[in-house]
Amino acid sequence: MKNIYILGIETSCDETSASIVKNGCEEISTVVLSQIDIHKDFGGVVPEIASRHHVKNISMVIEECFQKANLQIKDIDGIAVTYGPGLVGSLLIGVEAAKTLAYINKIPLIPINHMSGHIYANELVKPLKFPLIALVISGGHTELIYMKEHYQFQKIGGTLDDAIGECYDKVARVIGVPYPGGPTIDKWAHEGNDSYQLPLPLNDDSYNFSFSGLKSAIINLAHNEMQRGNDIRKKDLATSFQNTVVEIITKKTMKALKDYQVSNLIVAGGVAANKGIRERLIELCEKENIDYSFPDIQYCTDNAAMIAASGYHAYLLGYRASLDLNPKSNLELSNVK
Ligand code: KG4
Ligand code: ZN
């Protein structure tokens, strides 16, 4: 059978990335240019600055990706590009680059939902097995998705307010950790003691999540301690926060697997890198005989390899975009056609 090479392009937030993936699972080359150091000073991503850097870097990133792969554009069967959700100005740069390459070289253009990319990052580890439950946890999303087949996404639950990664970053900020604070909180959570009492958020029978109450509880706790002139035990707070998050995330995920009678779990998104969540889910899945998969750490946060992996299945299913493709900042996963 002929090999299929997909070029993936990702610019939805603060990473400019291009990747070439063979047959949806074999990464040939990936280039990720992160702007984290630029946005750190502002405590989060500044959309206008992000788009300017995408403009400056996109051509260079794509060129370097081809050089590393030792391939040429004529070898590419489809160009998969993230067109949502994300920052509209950032998405636009990737979409325009992909459209230009597709038009000039007469290559099919494949529209990709960023969240599907996070899910398909798992195909770079091993083939997805259906039916499955996907736990999608990132800076912008916290969702439980039921998938009966490739590209059939049924959202069964999600956050009612803040996304989990956003909550990690805000808690980190309160205790003086620079953006993005998730990885440091995760590290500290393994070094402290669970000595702060925190509320278990939205501890009900639904598959929904809520993190704003937990975030406010931590902000209030930090302010009260400061007003009393007390130091915050930062590592202990990280441990108590992470334990609370792990408990509610794993409880609802395991409930979804049980209720939907599914024995395959995949975890996706930037927060899938979290050691606490990984350890607890692995422990529970092994106990319950659930097959599980996490992307390799470098494919948890935003990258174009996951977009190309998703693009391969979209390509096989015949999904194509025309040259009037526009970015959609609030694109829903269920909207993927
Ligand atoms: O998926 P991603 O790269 O961007 C979005 O699509 O949102 O996720 C970035 C998020 C940030 O909030 C970051 O703090 C969080 O993932 N993150 C982590 C860890 N590594 C990255 N959160 C908790 N623990 C980690 N180890
Ligand atoms: Zn993402």
Q: Could you read off the pLDDT of 225-251 as tens digits, one per residue?
A: 989 999 999 999 999 999 999 999 999
| CA 3 to ligand 1 centroid distance, Å | 33
- Is 113 contained in some domain? yes
Whether residues 140 and 43 share a domain: the answer is no
pTM assigned to the model: 0.94
Q: Please list, in sequence order, all residues whose beta carbon lies within 8 angstroms of the beta carbon of residue 15, skipping any fewer than 6 positions away.
A: 32, 33, 34, 35, 301, 302, 303
Whether residues 164 and 249 share a domain: the answer is yes
Q: How confident is the model at residue 335 (pLDDT cuts 50, 70, 90)?
A: very low
- Domain of residue 97: give its range: 5-120+299-316
What is the predicted pLDDT for the residue at 53? Answer: 87
Question: What is the residue-wise DSSP string for 256-278?
Answer: HHHHTT--EEEEESGGGG-HHHH
**What percentage of the chain carries pLDDT values higher than 90?**
88
Is 138 touching ligand 1 by the criterion CB < 6 Å?
yes
Whether residues 101 and 165 share a domain: the answer is no
SS3 324: coil
Does the structure show a pLDDT above 70 at 336? no
- From 122, 143, 168, 297, mutation site for ligand 1 pocket: most ligand atoms within 8 A of C-beta: 168
Does the structure show a pLDDT above 60 at 111? yes
Whether residues 111 and 151 share a domain: the answer is no
| CA 170 to ligand 1 centroid distance, Å | 12
Helix (H) or strand (E) holding 63: helix 47-69
**What percentage of the chain carries pLDDT values higher than 70?**
99
Whether residues 102 and 153 share a domain: the answer is no
* Total of domains in the chain: 2
